[in-house]
Chain A
Amino acid sequence: MKTVRIGSGAGYGGDRIEPAIDLMKHGNLDYIIFECLAERTISIAQKRKQEDPALGYNDLFEYRFDKILDALQTNRVKVITNMGAANPKSAAELCGRMATEKGLKNLKIAYVEGDDISRRLEDYMDFQVLETGKTLRDIQGEVLSANGYIGCRGIVEALEHGADIVITGRVADPSLSLGPLMHEFGWSWDDYDKMGKGTWVGHLLECAGQVTGGYFADPGYKDVPDLWNLGFPIIEVDETGNGIVTKLSASGGLVSVETVQEQTLYEIQDPENYFTPDVIADFGHVRIRQQEKDVVKISDATGKAPTGYYKTSVGYHDCYIGEGQISYGGTNALKKAELAKEILEKRFEIIGLRCEEIRFDYIGMNSLYGDDISSQISSHIPTEVRLRVAARVKTLSEAQMVGDEVEALYTNGPSGGGGAVKSIKDIISIASVFIPSEDFEISVGYKEV
């Protein structure tokens, strides 16, 4: 039976590159995918493109492709990535120039466009926003971007035209893997069972190391060998859509029933209805079995027809968050931190800080779970406490005040305050709307070297 081996080279924009290159060299792969585009990243990329029309692709594109292209000199693995972000065409051109400089030949680079629907946004102003329940028109801040999660059709088209590298913008993460499977096995577009299976494969691969022992270790309960050398996953899929999850034996990490179980449900709401632009996948009756060490058999995902709408992320400038932190030590640490909090509250009142919401935490005591759960877990009083304050405000200058007031505690606050830090975050938020899929015009362009 024909099989296809897909590796995962990145689980997020800033992921390690070495495990990806190891996979390309030693994984006997047919394809490698790089998922590098978080929900808000594309808004920032769009802003960059407006400033310079040649930019707007992933920040690490050059860094990554320098190493990827070197690996392609000896191992011809097809590469699929959403690193094109807001500008797949420019990214493909850059990739072409880099390949030429390296002396690579017979390389066809495809770029998929059509996810950017910002020019038509006016048409959707009355659509309801998932996060707020209000309409798009009600968004207060400046709108920066609008990109639909398109499916795998553009990728399949590119591969059918012989592409060696496919660069996309916003594409649903599992579609990066479903695309090559549709192409290789010639599954039909209404074979939702196979597409559901392929979507599970894509879902397991999209976070790279999270299925091979990353985000898993809990010493004494779930131990993972050599996380410093965590290997990224390979899934070998057969034409029925079932397959095995594995990794390079020389790498660290592990592939077990537990790692695959956890990643299967990761960020999935109703397991029987996982919505993607290609299919509604159903992971509700999946089977996961250990075949041998670091080899796990996966089967029995399925699926049904997609909704006909693409989830579309509208990025907008929302607010600023100002933050400050300072530490206190000794058996009186908590009392000192409490005094510091009291001082800050008075100071914010005096300087007239207007905030939409403010939050104080004692790091080491209650910053993760609040007082109730924290006290249920342990009654231990720590000998160091770090006071943290964060406030959501409308203006940059107000955000600045938050950290400045924390810093001023050095000389104006309780004794022995140390390690003060301050930060300001410019917050881009996402409003999600569902736009009919036929409104998106997907196109594929090519660059050959």
Chain B
Amino acid sequence: MRLKEIAHSRTGDKGNISIISVIAYREEDYEFLKKNITSERLKEYFKDIVHGKITRYEIETICALNFVMEDALGGGVTRSLALDMHGKTLGSALLEMEV
């Protein structure tokens, strides 16, 4: 199964940091997300894009995980050479991950 079957996501940016939320559609899937969608897993998945630390925050009351990925936007939104300099499309890639 792909992650998008059980979770939705929104991506934002701050300088050279990409921030991706992963939110369970159904409360009963949140434990599965916590167990399987780890910082280590993202570090491996985004290895060609994210060169810094990935920190995960858990927000139990809304069944959400928030990933803060450092050194992820080609030097920062202003000077990045990427077509998508904000990394807005990264969340869509994460939701395609096999889980």
Q: Which residues of A are in contact with B by a Cβ distance under 8 Å? A: 40, 130-131, 215-216, 218, 221-222, 258, 261-272, 283-288, 300, 318-319, 321, 357-359, 361, 363, 367-373, 376-377, 388, 390-392, 427-430, 432
Contacts and interface: CB of A to CB of B under 8 A. Distances in A.
A261 B27 CA distance: 13
Central interface residue in B68, B79, B84, by most chain A CB within 10 Å: B79
Interface in B43-83: 45-49, 55, 57, 59-62, 64, 66, 68, 74-76, 78-79, 81-83
Contacts of A319: 79
A266 B10 contact: yes
A358 B82 CA distance: 10
A interface secondary structure, majority:
mixed
21 contacts: A130-B15, A218-B8, A258-B8, A258-B23, A266-B10, A266-B12, A266-B19, A267-B12, A269-B57, A269-B68, A271-B66, A272-B57, A285-B61, A318-B79, A319-B79, A359-B81, A368-B93, A370-B48, A372-B48, A388-B83, A429-B79
B21 A390 contact: no
A286 B19 contact: no
Given A267-B12, A269-B19, A288-B62, A372 B47 contact: yes
B41 interface: no
Contacts of B46: 373
A109 to B, nearest CB: 33
A128 to B, nearest CB: 14
Given A319-B79, A373-B46, A427-B78, A215 B61 contact: no
A374 B57 CA distance: 27
Interface residues of B, number: 42
B66 A131 contact: no
Contacts of B16: 131
A268 B78 CA distance: 19
Given A368-B93, A391-B81, 7 more contacts: A261-B64, A269-B14, A272-B57, A287-B61, A357-B81, A376-B96, A390-B83
A321 B61 contact: no
Contact of B8 (A130, A262, A263, A321): A262
Contacts of A300: 61
Given A270-B57, A288-B62, A369 B78 contact: no
Given A318-B79, A427-B79, A271 B57 contact: yes
Given A131-B76, A221-B8, A258-B23, A363 B83 contact: yes
